[in-house]
Amino acid sequence: MASESSKFAGSAAVMAAVKHAAKTEGSGQLRDADLQLSSVVVTPEAAVRDHWMSLILLAGGGIRMTLKAFYNTNLCRRVLADITGQKPEEIADHFVSDLMRELLNRVGGSAKRMLGDAGLTVGLSLPLVTRGFDQIFSNSTNQRDTDFEHWVLKTKYGAVAMSAELTRAPADCLNKFEWIVPAPKTDADDGELDFL
C-alpha cells in the first residue's frame, strides 16, 4: 500500500481503475471475498481463452474501452448452486450467462463511477454474452494508441480471465488524467442508500 502504487496517471490510471473495479465487483458477484487478481501475458495464438466470452463497452471523454471476461460455465454453476441451493447441473443456462452479464455490468458500472469521480465521464453499454471463438474477430493487437491488459480473477470456484482494450482518441487525451486507489470498503459501505 505504498502511495506510489496507489496513484496512477494516463492510461495506466484507467487500467488500474478498471482492474480495481473487477476485483471489487468480482468478489461480490462471484461470492469470494478472497478473490485474487493476477496479471498474465497472452500470446496471440491463445487469443481464444475459453468457451464463453462476455463483453461490455465504456466510451466517453476521448476513450473507448472494451472489457471482456472469458469463462467456463462450471464456475458460474457452482456460484449459482451456492446461491440457489440447487445442484450445479440443475442450473438453467440463461442464469449462467446472466451471472457473467451482471458481473461485467457491475465492473463497468463501478469503473464508470470511479472514472467519473476522477473527472472522466464515460457511458456504459449493455453487456453481451457470446462464444470465446469470437475473440478471433477482434481487432488486431497492433493498433495505434491502444493499450491492452489481461488478468485473471482466481476464486475458490475457478478462474475467470479478463481483458481490457483501451483506445485513446486523441492519443494525448489522458495525459492529465489521474486516479487514486480508493480505501478498501467495508460491508457497511456497500449499497449506500439515499432518500431523495
Residues that bind another protein (CB under 8 A): 25, 28-29, 44-45, 47-52, 72-74, 80, 83-84, 94-95, 98-99, 101-102, 105-106, 108-110, 112-113, 116, 124-126, 128-133, 136-142, 187, 190-196
- The number of CA neighbours under 13 Å toward the Cβ of 125 is 15
Site of grid cell 448452486: 81
CA angle 146, 148, 151 (to 5 degrees): 165
Closer to another protein by Cβ: residue 4 or 89: 89
| Closest CB 60 distance from another protein, rounded Å | 12
Closer to another protein by Cβ: residue 66 or 72: 72
| Closest CB 155 distance from another protein, rounded Å | 16
| Closest CB 97 distance from another protein, rounded Å | 9
- For residue 149, list its beta bridge partners: 164
CB 70 within 8 A of CB 165: no
Closer to another protein by Cβ: residue 73 or 155: 73
Closer to another protein by Cβ: residue 131 or 175: 131
Determine whether 137 is exposed, middle or buried from the number of CB atoms within 10 Å of its CB (0-12, 13-18, 19+).
Answer: exposed
Site of grid cell 445442484: 87
Helix axes 93-117 and 10-29, enclosed angle (nearest 10) = 140
Closer to another protein by Cβ: residue 63 or 124: 124
| Closest CB 104 distance from another protein, rounded Å | 11
